[in-house]
Each structure stands twice: as C-alpha cells, then as structure tokens.
Amino acid sequence: MKVPTKVIAAFLLGAGIVGGVATAATTQPLGVKVCVDKKTQAIFLAGSSGCSTARTPLTLGAPTIDVKSIAALVTPSVVTIKVTSSLGSGTGSGSVYKSDSNVSYIITNNHVIENAVTTGTISVELLNGNSLVAQIVGRDSTYDLAVLKVNRGNLPTVTVGDSSKISVGDPVVAIGSPLGLASTVTSGIVSALNRPVTTGTSGAESFVNAIQTDAAINPGNSGGALLDSLGRIIGVNSAIATLSSGAVSGNIGVGFSIPINEAKRVIDELIATGKSTRPFLGVEFDTTFTGTGAKILRLTSGEAAEKAGISVGSIITSIGGLRIADTTAAVVRIRSYAPGSTVSIVVDLPNGTDKTFTVTLGSTPSR
C-alpha cells in the first residue's frame, strides 16, 4: 500500500489543509492522527470522530511505534507463498511491490521458491484467502532475492522506505507467515546494522549486509516485510540465527533482513529484464588468511582493483568507512554497493604501510 512520501514529510513539517486532503500539520507530542483511504491511498487528517470504515487509521511521527495501525495498513500487502515440487513443499512470505490494472509483482527470497524453478508450482495466498498461481519473473541467488508475478491487478502495495535512514534501537515491525501462519505480526527494534551474513551451501552462498532485529522471525517469515515506524518496508526478512550448525531453530531474538535500498536495485532489474547484476571488485581473496581483514590472493586483469592500483598481497581493512574483519565482511560490503559506485578502500600494503584507494566498481551478471 503506497503512502506518498511527500505527504508524510509535509505532515512532519506542519502547516494546514488544502481541499480536505492533509498536506501538512503541526506534529503533536503523541503524533499526528491520520486516515489512509483504502482505495486511493490518499492521506487525510483524522477528525474528532476518527476514521470511517473506508479508511485505515494511522499515527505519524509518534514517539512509540503504533503496531496496530501498521498491521492494519500493511497486512493486506503481505502474502503467503506456497511452493510444491518434486523436492518437497514449503511456505514463505512475500510483499506486493508493484501492481497495475492487470498484474502484480511480489518480492520474496530466492530460497523460498528455488525448488520450483524447473518443476513444481508456486501459489500466492492473499489476505482474503484467495489463491493465485505465480510465475517467476527473475531471481538472484547471490542476494537471495526473487520476483514473482500474478495475473491479478490493483493489489495493495507496500510503501518503500529508506534503509539508510534507520539506526540501532529504532522500532520495527515484521509481517509474514511463520510456520504457514498467515499475516503474523511481531515487533522489536533494529539490533545492529551492516551485519555480514551468509546463507546457502558452499559455492552457492548468498551474501547479505543485513539489518539485525529482535522482532520475532521464524521459518516461513522468509521473504516477508520488515517495516519502520511509519509502515514503510525497510528490509526483506531472510534468515534467523541457530544455536548450532545445521540445527532447526525458531526465534531466538536474532533475525536478519536484506536492506531495502540494496534489494530495490536488484528487484527493479529483475522486473525490467528478468536478470540482475552485482558490483565487481575483481579480486580473489586468500581463504587461508587468519589475520584481521581480507587478503587479496589474485587480481582480475583490467578490473576495478587493478585499475585503482591495489596490489596482490594487500589486506583490505576498511571499505566505505566500515571496518573489515574478514573475507566474508569484505564480500558483503562490496555487494552492498551498486555497480559503478565509487568506493574508498583502505588496505595494508605488502610493504607494511597502509594506503587509501578510490575504486570505481565494475559490473558482472549475478547468478
């Protein structure tokens, strides 16, 4: 469900009303009470009697998160995804990202639907219980993202937020279908940012520069929405921590979400072309290195690192101002950028000195 960001910004600045549509208002200590039209998504200031049945109540700018309002606003945009194939069946979650009069596009995790890529079926269950056959538009296992299409238009869509604006401690809401229980809503906070997370099997890993949250996330939440205090999607829920390697675990207060700013680029490419790209530094790391940082074993001729003058044997210690602890952290951090981005990379050179390089990342097809 899309809420115009300019209108929200106007509410927080403060002014008046034009033609009955709220374009600005003074923020009160307990937030601004508004009503979101369920059909047009227009925002109106709430009257003394509250909102009509055709509008959803929402509080903007409140010091504490209004989970009830966010759930009412966003739950219709979050779906249950059911997969059946020769490899087995399972459920996951997704969010309606775009919708026109004929079709709707739904974002989810690649691992939710990958068993049905060659054989099997994928269905999407809406809040009202209707089930729709879904087709895979495109997928990217590197980022663990996928886009589905259903032949049903005018579905309510999520409002896209800005994951670069969130901070540790910010309140968040997770909506999805854990264990197949549709439209489950949980809340918590942002526990950490830029958390390097890998999922998948060796040689087919997904690398996520994750948002960590303590909002309850369980198996089946994968692909669902992580929302900020205004109900805007800031992350695609992707993974949970387990207490031991390979263990099947429920929520232990450590969940991970793909930041929407990182995901959006990939999602838009998949919708436009069915394929996606990733940034390319042009290095192979030394996986036997046990020190702090990521040691470069080889360079790809003519690619970004070599063009910038970085030498073999150098140890990357910082990328874009973020400390790099190991190889995984380096890969995750690079992949958080878009191809063509200019990035500051600090390395310890083989001669023992450190140097900062300005690197323009290349581009390569994602898998």
Active site residues: 111, 144, 222
Q: Residue 213 class from Cβ within 10 Å (0-12 exposed, 13-18 middle, 19+ buried)? A: buried
Task: Look at strands 55-60 and 121-125 and give their pairing.
Answer: unpaired
HEC string of 334-358?
Answer: HHCCCCCCEEEEEEECCCCCEEEEE
By the 8 A CB rule, do 354 and 270 touch?
no
Cα–Cα nearest to 2, from 161, 158, 140:
158
Dihedral class, residue 304 (left if φ above 0, else alpha if ψ from -120 to 50, else beta): alpha
Report in angstroms the alpha-carbon separations of 91 from 149, 220, 239.
Answer: 17, 6, 14
**What is the 8-class DSSP label of residue 68?**
H
Closest CA to 64 of 187, 167, 235, 165: 187
Chain centroid offset of residue 97 CA: 12
Looking at the chain, list the stretches that DSSP marks H as alpha helix, in order from N- to C-terminal side.
5-13, 67-74, 110-113, 260-273, 304-308, 327-335
CA-wise closest residue to 72 among 179, 171, 162, 175: 175
DSSP 8-state assignment for residue 50: B
Could you give phi then psi for residue 265, rounded to 5 degrees?
-60, -45
The answer to whether 222 and 112 are in contact (CB under 8 A) is yes
* Contact status, residue 285 vs residue 327, Cβ threshold 8 Å: yes
Nearest to 297 by CA among 305, 280, 285: 285
